[in-house]
Structure 1
């Protein structure tokens, strides 16, 4: 019964977070649909600009700020109200500090792309998007602090409804600004960026208002918007020490997939097209598992704070089972009839698509195996994050990703002539080896009286 009860607790946190992540990802998808009505260079420029701005924000800001959930959960479990407030307020300070380099990159994106010999027309459109989206960076980071804090103290009501409403508003305002409807000018890529900025500020304002109202009725009543503490460099260093490895890990994994896509393009255009479609199918799975990862990080942080480290292993197993539950429908369809999945993207009955269908069926089977292993790997990473252990996991992921995933994939694909199968086999092996090493790390850290376990002071 304890396993079932714990599974329910994790699902209670994971499901709202997963839905929020999915809705947030759909906002960018809507922009892509509207931009599909423009010229090829405008579409390419928008896609490139959106990818760079998002990745820069995620790597530099959000991975570091993401530690807010762990710190809030930890001190909330200890009922240390002032410590929660101090850490959340320092999350706001970190937003101001870390958003600055992202803003500078975004403002100068066009010049940077031209310097890297990107086609001038594409660079111009990317810069147009960046000039509109630059105003979204700070409010998005601040909103994420509030979102993660709310998740840690189990207050999802405002976050869920704000995100749901924002997605509808984003579709409407993107339609108006991108396509120039209802008398507005046709702004294209700039309109996509501007709509993102407007929605980001709206989400932040709504969350501040609703959080303040709900806080008055709450027994906890965290005063995160009043009684501001002065900037403490010890807490800034704490955020950087825990969060920078997460940022670096995100960057390394993103670069690995980019390199693997470049390798796939060298194998063939059909293989690359099939791989892109496969990623479109499995992307929602990543969003669902992200919710479970944050849920296990929060639960582990709570038990760590209360001295119940012996429960961490059981919590991790339960979270892995929950992630498999989320993954099952996607994997079942793939193994039952992958052609059915392919029909979501193109006409599988047309003779011209036979080659694409063959590659799609091959890749999606390997991708399903890969994501099963990766889901468990991500959950173990979340448990280690909850224990505030981020440096060694970063080293493990970096080594396996590049030595096995990239170097091994290149060797299998080109030296041993295994084609696209070699790339995915190497990727599966990299996830598997990383999982084994991360699990070993978790076992070491959660031993009784382990010297590896973080013993950060409640009052630091």
Structure 2
């Protein structure tokens, strides 16, 4: 990152930071994308099982790994304030924290997985696939969380092309092991949807090893000498990171978990409905990587400008990012509306599931537009280290407005399972409006503070 003077320079720099993040996010999500598509080819039961397993795992991962995203604004502001000597200590503490979170997940999963699956109305095959998928995935939790810290560090330096390169290297590994483990090729056992979990775990270890190589051997990362001094655990630094990271993590959790909750509530419907919902949400989530990537780029850009007390520049970056996200959302809506036959055909050859996927994709058009505003604003607010109000707004928008309205529509109107998707769109729209008002308030406050000067 470097200071810019004009809007065109800002747009150019933001795109330079953004496009590797976008390719990285698309690459990372493609692992889940291929898990779903390839499991669907193994059968509707395997697709439904992976859907249930993913719905339990993704909110936990995104919520807890969101805590580790605190490293990005912390390091970004250190760089903007020219305090590079403080970076290595903060990153190392983040690694310690990631290990602790991994252990907590493994302990919690071993205690809660069976009771949760037993409470759900699933047939035996779907329940078996969901459990096996999560057990396989659990072998990759530790490397995945450590990698999340390294990635936050790399991205905070503006070196987003490095994470892009690492992700692109890992995709063939994931696809290969999905193929051989799901379908039992080259002497491997045929595990169906369960194999997708083990394939992901193998890929996460590969990603961690490659990332370590870059951090230790490649500039500018090696100049920070992250492992030159093995500092002890600093509870004070953990508290600082948790103070920023926990609201980020819970804010992400509230948004992602509402989608997972809807999938779990879908278990009251047929296996075909669960499979169709998962396929549609899988593709819609792939498109969501665009506003999510813009959000992450804004955290870096806004954090850098705020660290240098250039509040007008931070404001300009925010609106450039939001405008770009809205434009991309209109393109995504066009794709969902006019190509839903082709998209549905990627996931299944079952005629019933195919027809249901097409309808779900039409409903996905509406929350794409709300996401395009809400996600970039969240990224900008993180750049300001403003996370607590965002947490509260996310809780209200998604869980007090979105999910209950979806439940009422699904249970007491003719919308049926599609009522949940209308509820999702409603929650996202409320989140977009309230987050925008918060961003405006914060920008005006910063501008007033700078105008008044030190007291």
From 359, 366, 370, the equivalent of 1:369 is: 366
Shift of 1:182: 2.0
Which deviates more from structure 2 when the two are superposed, residues 382-391 or residues 177-186? Answer: 177-186
Change (3 A) 1:165 1:424: closer
- Report deviation, 1:219: 9.0
1:176 maps to which residue? 180
Q: How far, CA to CA, are the matches of 1:44 and 1:353 in structure 2?
A: 14
Q: What do residues 275-327 of structure 1 show as CA deviations (whole Å, max 9, x unaligned)?
A: 55543442222111111000001111111111122333221110012213333
1:243 is paired with a residue whose SS is helix
| Residue 32 (1) aligns with residue 36 (2) | yes
In 2: Cα distance, 1:110 partner to 1:370 partner: 30
1:54 matched to 2:58: yes
Q: Give the match's secondary structure for 1:388.
A: coil
**CA shift for structure 1 position 381:** 1.0
The two structures have a TM-score, normalised by structure 2, of: 0.84
SS of 2:185 mapped into structure 1 = coil
Query: 1:4-403 alignment to 2 at 5 Å?
Result: 4-36=8-40, 38=42, 41-60=45-64, 62-108=65-111, 111-113=114-116, 115-116=118-119, 119-215=123-219, 218=220, 221-260=223-262, 276=278, 278-334=280-336, 338-346=337-345, 356=355, 360=358, 364-403=361-400
Q: Using the TM superposition, give the Cα deviation of residue 41 of structure 1 relative to its aligned residue in structure 2, in angstroms.
A: 4.9
Instruction: State whether residues 7 and 318 of structure 1, in contact with CA within 8 Å, keep that contact through their aligned partners in structure 2.
Output: yes
Contact 2:294 2:376 in 1 (8 A): yes
Q: Are the equivalent residues in 2 in contact too, given 1:131–1:193 (CA < 8 A)? A: yes
User: Residues 39-72 of structure 1, C-alpha deviation per residue, up to 9 Å, x if partnerless?
Assistant: 6555544443344233322222x11011111111
Shift of 1:369: 3.4
Give CA deviations for 1:146-195 in whole Å, capped at 9, x if unaligned.
11211111223432222112110121223233333222333445543332
Change (3 A) 1:210 1:344: same
Q: CA deviation at 1:213?
A: 1.6
Tell me how far apart the structure 1 counterparts of residues 275 and 117 of structure 2 sit (CA, whole Å).
Answer: 27
Structure 2 SS opposite 1:221: helix
- CA distance in structure 2 between the partners assigned to 1:111 and 1:331 by the alignment: 39
Given that 1:19 and 1:288 are in contact with CA atoms closer than 8 Å, whether structure 2 keeps it comes out as no
Determine the C-alpha separation between the residues in 2 that align with 1:369 and 1:124.
34
Distance 1:202 1:407, change over 3 A: closer
Q: Is the 8 A contact 1:69 1:152 kept in 2?
A: yes
Q: CA deviation at 1:99?
A: 0.9
Alignment CA distance shift 1:184-1:280 (3 Å): closer
Q: Which runs of 5+ in 2 are unaligned?
A: 451-455
Between the aligned partners of 2:362 and 2:127, the Cα distance in structure 1 is 36
Distance verdict in 2 for CA 1:37–1:430, change over 3 Å: closer
Distance 1:315 1:277 in 2: 34
Checking the alignment, whether the CA contact within 8 Å between 1:57 and 1:99 is kept in structure 2 is no
Q: Would the alpha carbon gap of residues 420 and 209 (structure 1) be closer, same or farther in structure 2, given more than 3 Å must change?
A: closer
Q: Deviations over 1:370-422 (max 9, x none)?
A: 32122111111111111111111111121122333233344566667676786
Q: Does 1:405 align with 2:408?
A: no
Relative to structure 1, the CA distance from residue 76 to residue 344 in structure 2 (aligned partners, 3 Å threshold; closer, same or farther) is same
Q: Report the secondary structure of 1:446's partner residue.
A: helix
Contact 1:14 1:292 in 2 (8 A): yes
In the superposition, the TM-score normalised over structure 1's length comes to 0.84
Q: Distance in 1 between matches of 2:38 and 2:342?
A: 22
Task: Return closer, same or farther for 1:4/1:272 CA change in 2, 3 Å cut-off.
Answer: farther
Contact 2:98 2:146 survives alignment (8 Å):
yes
Checking the alignment, whether the CA contact within 8 Å between 1:136 and 1:196 is kept in structure 2 is: yes
Q: Distance in 2 between matches of 1:377 and 1:228?
A: 39
**Partner Cα separation in structure 2 for residue 275 and residue 257 of structure 1:** 10
Asked whether the 8 Å contact 2:181–2:190 carries over to 1, the reply is yes
Instruction: Describe the superposition over 1:225-257 as per-residue Cα deviations: whole angstroms up to 9, x where unpaired.
Output: 221332221211112121212222233223433
For 1:64 and 1:284, the matched residues in 2 are separated by: 22
Root-mean-square deviation (CA, aligned residues, Å) is: 3.5
Task: Look up the SS of the partner of 2:218 in the other structure.
Answer: helix
3-state SS of paired residue (1:345): helix
